[in-house]
Amino acid sequence: MKGSRWMLVSVVGLAWLAGSAGVAVAWEPTKPVEFIIPAGTGGGADVMARLIAPLVEKHKLSPRPLVVINKPGGAGAEGFLYVKGKKGDAHTIIITLSNLFTTPLHTGVPFNWKDLTPLGRLALDEFILWVNTERPDKKEFKTAREYIAAVKEKPTTFKMGGTGTAQEDQIITIQLEQALGLKFIYVPFKGGGEVCVNLVGNHVDSTVNNPAECVGHWKAGKVRPLAVFDAARLMWGTGGGDIPTAKEAIGTDIQYLMLRGIFGPPDMPKEAVDFYQGMLKKVYDSPEFQKYLLDNALKPSWLTGAEYVKWLGETESVHKDLMQKGGLLK
């Protein structure tokens, strides 16, 4: 009796030992993880990072917390170069947006996405062509075709608002111009929210914006979405109806989606890569994150490993091509 009890204890003990050994094999952060945002506070990337950090803590996905740090200098170049300099580090990750491609291409800073270790793609952000519903000249543009016709009639009088220069908004504007033979006056602003408000205030005639940046004004009937730059219509219940694709609305297939992905420093150790990929997948699958994607009309698009790398390569050459056509390359 006595012996069997001992046996039991030792079996349980062994199992526990084995179990803990199993856990010990998998790498985990041993100190707080720096989570770099190559953009300012309050923007789309910032908000997503500040959503991810507490989710990691809430769902106990990492033994040490994520410490969010903004490095927005030089259109994100500061953040990218910072992470590039952390070769082999296992405690730094960075969230990226399209400036991963556009900033080095336009400014010539010595950086390329291949310098970083791709971890995972969390979402893709859509772009929509918006116009104001009440214009001072009383014209009304109910469809993209009407608007395009008006722009064509009077080149370089219609103002297109967008975020920054040589970044996604201007790239789409140039695509539109080249595909349809138009000429806008492109006015750069500092942030997406500012762009939409300038549209509502009729300081610009149209904008290309992420859905989240304009949805409030759409619901209030101040702005009208004319087309989404994607392959499929945007079904977005909250706004009241779906938005036609560029192909349907203007007859030209223009597509552009913005990356929301996570990277690590160059040569991040394999076991750390595995850990962060697992962590990010769990964040991605959490109901909170899925609700966030839905609310902001972000396309759920989890991608990792070799496919992610392949996708990045393709996306980079698309950017290079578009920026070359637009004369935005350095």
Partner 1 sequence: MGEFSNLLMGFQIAITPFNLFIALVGIFLGTIIGVLPGLGGANGVAILLPITFTMPPTSAIIFLSCIYWGALFGGAITSILFNIPGEPWSVATTFDGYPLAKRGMAAQALTAAFTASFVGAAFANVLITFFAPLLAEVALKFGPPEFFAIQLLTFSAFVGLGGGSPVKTLASIFIGFILAAVGLDIVTGKLRLTFGSVELMRGFSFIVAVIGLFGIGEIFLTVEEGLRFRGEKARIGFREMVTTWRELGGYWRTFIRSALIGFWMGFKPGGATPASFMSYSFAKRFSRTPEKFGKGTLEGVVAPETAAHAAGGAAMLPMITLGIPGSPTAAVMLGGLLIWGLQPGPMLFKEKPEFVWGLIASMYTGNVIGVLVVLLFVPLFAAILRIPFAVLTPLIVVICAIGAYAVSNALLDVWYMLIFGVIGYVFKKLDYPLAPLVLALVLGDMAETAIRQSLIMSRGNPAIFFWSPISAVITAAALLLFFLPALSLGWRRLKNVPAPAASHPDHTP
Partner 2 sequence: MKHADILTALVLLAGALLVVWEGWRLGFGWGTDGPQSGFFPFALGLGLAVCSIVSLVQARALPSARRFVEPGKLVPVAKVALPAAGMVLLIHVAGLYVSSAIYMALYMRWIGRHRWSLVILLSVGIPLVTFLVFEKWFLVSMPKGPLETWLGY
Q: Report in angstroms how near the CB of residue 211 gets to partner 1 at its nearest.
A: 11
Residue 51 in contact with partner 2, rule: CB under 8 A: no
Using CB under 8 A as the criterion, what x/- string covers residues 70-109 for binding partner 2?
A: ----------------------------------------
185-189 and 159-163: which strand pairing? parallel
Question: What's the rounded Cα separation, in Å, for the pair 193 and 214?
Answer: 7
298-303 and 117-125: which strand pairing? antiparallel
User: Out of 122, 292, 293, 322, which residue is the one contacting partner 1 (CB under 8 A)?
Assistant: 292
Q: Are 46 and 8 in contact (CB under 8 A)?
A: no
What length is written for the chain?
Answer: 330
User: Out of 31, 87, 135, 139, which residue is the one contacting partner 2 (CB under 8 A)?
Assistant: 31
Question: What's the rounded Cα separation, in Å, for the pair 230 and 257?
Answer: 7
Q: Report in angstroms how near the CB of residue 96 gets to partner 1 at its nearest.
A: 17
Q: Cα torsion at 105, 109, 111, 112 (round to 10°)?
A: 0
List phi, psi (to 5°) of 2: -60, -45
Question: What's the rounded Cα separation, in Å, for the pair 192 and 214?
Answer: 8
Q: What is the total count of residues that contact partner 2 (CB under 8 A)? A: 10
What contacts 281, CB < 8 A, 6 or more positions away? Answer: 120, 302, 304
Nearer Cβ to partner 2 (35/292): 35
Residue 150 in contact with partner 1, rule: CB under 8 A: no
Helix (H) or strand (E) holding 51: helix 44-58
DSSP string, 250-277: HSS-----EEEEEEE-TT--HHHHHHHH
For residue 210, the partner it binds in partner 1, partner 2, none, with Cβ less than 5 to 8 A by kind, is none
Q: 312, 292, 273, 266: which is closest to 50 by C-alpha? A: 292
Question: Which residues in the 168-207 window bind partner 2 by CB under 8 A?
Answer: 185
Q: Report in angstroms how near the CB of residue 144 gets to partner 1 at its nearest.
A: 23
Q: Cα torsion at 184, 189, 194, 199 (round to 10°)?
A: -10
Q: How many CB atoms lie within 10 A of CB 310?
A: 11
Q: Using CB under 8 A, which of the segments 62-70, 108-116, 272-280, 298-306 binds partner 2?
A: 62-70
Nearer Cβ to partner 1 (185/318): 185
Nearer Cβ to partner 1 (113/189): 189
Q: Report in angstroms how near the CB of residue 225 gets to partner 2 at its nearest.
A: 27
List phi, psi (to 5°) of 235: -90, 115
User: Out of 248, 274, 285, 295, which residue is the one contacting partner 1 (CB under 8 A)?
Assistant: 295
Residue 68 in contact with partner 2, rule: CB under 8 A: yes
User: Out of 29, 64, 107, 252, which residue is the one contacting partner 1 (CB under 8 A)?
Assistant: 107
Q: Report in angstroms how near the CB of residue 232 gets to partner 1 at its nearest.
A: 23
Question: What's the rounded Cα separation, in Å, for the pair 221 and 239?
Answer: 10
Nearer Cβ to partner 1 (45/254): 45
User: Out of 200, 208, 250, 262, which residue is the one contacting partner 1 (CB under 8 A)?
Assistant: 200
Contact residues toward partner 2 (CB under 8 A) are 30-32, 34, 53, 65, 67-69, 185
Residues that bind partner 1 (CB under 8 A): 40-43, 46-47, 50-51, 53-54, 57-58, 68-75, 77-78, 81, 106-107, 109, 156, 159, 164-167, 185-191, 193-194, 196-198, 200-201, 203-204, 212, 215-217, 219-220, 222, 238, 291-292, 295-296, 328
